[in-house]
Amino acid sequence: MTYIDVFNGDADGILALLQLRLAEPRNSRLVTGVKRDIQLLDKLDFDGEEVITVLDISMEKNQQGLKRALAAGAEVSYFDHHRPGEVPVDPRLSATIDMNPEVCTALLVDKHLGGQHHLWAITAAYGDNLIAVADRLSEEAGLSKQQAQQLKEFGTLINYNGYGASVSDLHYEPAELFKALLSFSNPFDVIAQADSPYHRLKDAYSEDMANAQALGLSYQSEWLEVCTLPNQPWSRRVSGVLGNELANQQPEKAHAVFTELGDGNMLVSLRAPLVNKTGADEICSSFATGGGRKGAAGINSLPKEEIPRFIQAVEAKYK
């Protein structure tokens, strides 16, 4: 029997798996990548001896791989909050899918485990920009405002680490970050350790965000704000968390971050208005390399000539 854990390389994916493996330790093969590397199942081969756990990658984008795994006789447990597309009916598939914009994968795992590692789930919710949800959970857990702020910062840092065109852009390869965190049952223990990933990421994040904030906006209207970043590793690292920060500052507007790619196209990160967290997935999925969820989505490669159509689609959605 072969155990395989397949997970998104962002805060939600890493901390969803972290909760599971703290509760149910396994010597498993880890399959992950940068945040936008989501067609992970499609890359694998199966012989039917696998027990596979899939976390925080769209079932819709992994139909081929999922069907091959089930046809081979593998057992699959699937936790996700993105658009699923067709959910196969198969006794070997256990699917926990919830597209509610106030839910993330780590919260689904938290419920599945009965809150065994609840602080990690709260950290993940902060990292996935579910700020109001995470604040409520922090208060219910009896955390002080200072403790809640620490978890918010930590979740943001883990999420920040997942963004890049390739693993070489990242400070930690996501599987290595997961393994580094696995020795801590509590996020506050990571924060308290001076040489932990938390402190390395905190320093790097401060430097990258200072670069981004110096640029200002490249487009703004009553309904949308856009920031355009140059083709640099730091740009790719902040592309997602910058969108979250802008959204939190202007919750009534949509926000997009364009990052220049080497071929002249744009990497796009879109955030729906926080007061209307819907439609981002529909907008981005209407472009060739787009996808995501209701409140936050992206396009892997948007030709520059399609930028006006993208802006028009966003503004038409949120007018």
3-state secondary structure 38-82: CCCHHHCCCCCCEEEEEECCCCHHHHHHHHHHHHHCCEEEEEECC
Minimum mean pLDDT among 5-14, 102-111, 242-251: which range? 242-251
CA 47 distance to own-chain centroid: 29
Question: Residue 64's pLDDT is what?
Answer: 95
Please tell me the pTM assigned to this model. Answer: 0.86
Q: What span, in angstroms and rounded, lies between the C-alpha atoms of 146 and 149?
A: 5
Question: Residue 39's pLDDT is what?
Answer: 93
Please say if the pLDDT value at position 165 is more than 90: no
Contact 122, 133 (CB under 8 A): no
Beta bridge partners of 77: 53, 94
Average pLDDT of 207-227? Answer: 94
Please say if the pLDDT value at position 110 is more than 90: yes
Helix then strand then coil, % of the chain, to nearest 5: 45, 20, 35
Please say if the pLDDT value at position 213 is more than 90: no
DSSP characters for 213-224? HTT--SEE-SSE
Question: Residue 293's pLDDT is what?
Answer: 85
Looking at the chain, the whole-number percentage of residues with pLDDT higher than 90 is: 91
272-281 pLDDT per residue, tens: 999 999 999 9
Average pLDDT of 110-124? Answer: 98
Sketch out the chain's domains with CATH numbers: 2-201 (3.90.1640), 215-318 (3.10.310.30)
Q: And the tokens for 66?
A: 């999922």
242-260 pLDDT per residue, tens: 988 899 999 999 999 999 9
Question: Residue 84's pLDDT is what?
Answer: 93
Question: Residue 263's pLDDT is what?
Answer: 92
